[in-house]
Amino acid sequence: MQKFFKQYGWIVICVVFASILPLITEWISRNDLYAAVLWEQTHLLLYLFVILVELILIFIVYFVTSSFFAGLIIPTLLTMVMSVVNYFKILYNDNPFSMWDLTLLSEFGDVSGTVEYNITSSIIISLLIFVLAIAGIVFAVRKQYIDIPKINIKKRLAGAAGLSIVFICIFQFCLFNSSVNALLGFDFNLWSTKEFYASNGFIPSFTYGIKDFLEVSVSDPTPQGSEVTEAQEAFFAEEQKTEVRPNIILILSESESDISKFEGFTYSQDPMAYTKQLASTDAAHLADMLTPVYGGGTSNAEYDVLTSNSALDLPYGVNAYKQRIKQPMFSIAQLLKKYGYDTTSIHPFMRKFWDRDLVHPNLGFDEYLASESFTDPQYVGNYISDDDFANKIIETYEAKRTSGNPQFIFGISMENHMDWDSSKLNEDNPIKVIDQGPLSDDEKIQAEVYGQGVYDANKSLEKLVNYFSNSDQPTIIVQFGDHLPAFSSVYTALGYEKTTTGVEHNLLYYTTPVLYWSNYGAIDLDDKNYIASNYVAPYLIKESGLPIPPYYDFLFEMEETVGMPIRGIYIDQNGNEVLMSEAGEDYRATYQYLQGYWLFQDKTFMTKEEAIPPITKENE
């Protein structure tokens, strides 16, 4: 036995490393050892698949580097680091780590700031086990308990090449074959990336995401060939009569939400008091917006609102601005240009952030004003204040209205972007946490700084409403939050466990306020408690009295047929919240039929002949 281990012990070590690594990565990703063990027991074939992948990677690195220890250390550390990233990404963004995230490193670096990363016990213990294992192997090799064979360069290169071919074949055969997917036990949940990862494990899910990364075409995402798009083309080819053309101010308010729905602490006053007071008048309406993102990913919410496409239809991890909009695409800006509007976007941050300098012209904006267009702005922390942001909107409107055209101004604020730390504290701030409840002192600071940011966003809205209330030009203002703030420890301290799923979870973490206000008539949206992000513009155009394009008509028909989807749930035709998992295959098939076939003619959804008749109020 001793002779066997001395000669073949290095192979045994490789197998042991490859076998334990899936457990370690699941433990780190879930921060729950019991859940990790349970996953391995209930997904044996996927577990064996991961062992095979890791073992091949270990041997490939060994053969390429001629170092047995490099073969163990590089794949192990790489996998562990990826699982750590996955844990924190779910914690702060409610979405797992995917290949697409590698294309967003510049955006993360620009805003990551001083985000606090609390190292978990699973990370510490796993790293300790790894270090001790390597130290033990080094000791065994030096004491000659194990012989590491010397392999000449020709055999090593041949082995690396052969294993690389095997790896590619396994990848191709296992991930591009639906029958093998089913045999391995992949559980496909098309509505929730987080649930997909939780069910199938981090490494299998990440690996499967590489398939999407390689398959998805980003060169021509524009819908074409469908009845809707043909009607759109005809609509744009005709002259559209517009009796009233109100100015339209559309504002994405960074991280704005009604944080008071998380009970357990008390502010000195409601940060959203002005918005709620305004909503009590006939001139305004306040609803919950169903947003596709949590804690970040602003541009996907922006994509939804401007294009009225849904980021929920994009492949796992895809960012619409970075991977989808490479050419002109229909948007509310493009539509309003047809109606004779001047179209301007304003963002008090870096011009290239989320590729807006490339995307906004493709969406139909005449001009994009970034931070360099602000003169001596005031800062709150690292970002231009919402007060100066509102001043810039007014300044831009006054400069451009001399053209005689109605104005469409889309603004993206920045003041309340993370971080919510002491650098933004000010003794004169009216928003204080007067009862911190279970919050720690650091969490109290986060909540207080964030609440002041929401208050400032409301004050900037008030400034705009007051300005346009005194204008004789008809104007509509819409302000919406893009996502909730990413301070998970605050939610956890208050007793809201964000690792759960379900209706309550999604309504808490994926709804933000959206306010419609008009200076020339009542807003008639009293029956709308929820408005999906991709429906914000259609309802805006409907309220304005401007001609409604075929695509918006299609969306209204779709709402009547299948309701409004959100992550993991949907709002049905009667305004009820329903879990996607409880909706049944009829709902899924109908949604895919409408969104996939009629809009995109996308055969990856289903063909018209395969689709079931749409669900209607009569036959549901």
Q: What is the pLDDT of residue 192?
A: 62
Any domain includes 527: yes
Using pLDDT thresholds of 50, 70 and 90, give the confidence band for residue 409: very high
> Are the beta carbons of 447 and 460 closer than 8 angstroms?
no
Q: Are residues 297 and 207 in the same domain?
A: no
Q: Are residues 82 and 201 in the same domain?
A: yes
| Half-sphere exposure of residue 500: CA atoms within 13 angstroms, side-chain side | 12
327 has pLDDT over 90: no
Q: How far is CA 402 from the centre of its chain?
A: 39
Q: Are residues 375 and 478 in the same domain?
A: yes
**Per-residue pLDDT tens digits for 579-609:** 766 666 556 556 655 555 444 443 333 333 3
Q: Are residues 395 and 542 in the same domain?
A: yes
Any domain includes 262: no
**Which amino acid would we find at residue 494?**
L
Predicted structure pTM score: 0.77
Q: What is the pLDDT of residue 98?
A: 79
Q: Residue 26 sits in which domain range?
A: 1-218
**Which amino acid would we find at residue 523?**
I
Any domain includes 325: yes
When mean pLDDT is compared across 62-71, 95-104, 159-168, 445-454, the lowest value belongs to 95-104
Q: Are residues 127 and 191 in the same domain?
A: yes
Any domain includes 287: yes
Q: Are residues 186 and 299 in the same domain?
A: no
Q: Report the alpha-carbon distance of residue 144 to residue 233 in Å, rounded.
A: 76
Any domain includes 455: no
Any domain includes 229: no
When mean pLDDT is compared across 52-66, 136-150, 380-394, the lowest value belongs to 136-150
Q: Are residues 204 and 289 in the same domain?
A: no
β-strand partners of 435: 266
Q: Are residues 150 and 28 in the same domain?
A: yes
Q: Are residues 82 and 150 in the same domain?
A: yes
Question: For residue 197, which of 116, 300, 122, 90 has the smallest C-alpha distance?
Answer: 90
**Integer angstrom CA distances of residue 306 from 460, 513, 515, 538, 591:** 22, 17, 16, 10, 21
Q: Report the alpha-carbon distance of residue 92 to residue 88 in Å, rounded.
A: 6
> Are the beta carbons of 431 and 452 closer than 8 angstroms?
yes
Q: Are residues 249 and 200 in the same domain?
A: no
Q: What is the pLDDT of residue 367?
A: 95
151 has pLDDT over 70: yes
Cβ-based neighbour number of residue 383 at 10 Å: 22
Q: What is the pLDDT of residue 114?
A: 45
Q: Are residues 89 and 194 in the same domain?
A: yes
89 has pLDDT over 90: no
Helix (H) or strand (E) holding 476: strand 475-481
Query: The CATH number of the domain where 507 resides is what?
Result: 3.40.720.10
**Which amino acid would we find at residue 246?**
P
Q: Are residues 33 and 115 in the same domain?
A: yes
**Which amino acid would we find at residue 69?**
F
Candidate ranges 141-145, 413-417, 520-524, 593-597; pick with highest mean pLDDT: 413-417
**Which one is predicted more confidently, 317 or 57?**
57
* Cα diameter, the chain: 94
Helix (H) or strand (E) holding 208: helix 202-215
- Tell me whether strands 530-532 and 511-518 are parallel, antiparallel or unpaired: unpaired
> Are the beta carbons of 94 and 297 closer than 8 angstroms?
no
Any domain includes 438: no
**Number of domains the chain contains:** 2
Q: What is the pLDDT of residue 620?
A: 36
Q: What is the mean pLDDT of residues 487-494?
A: 83
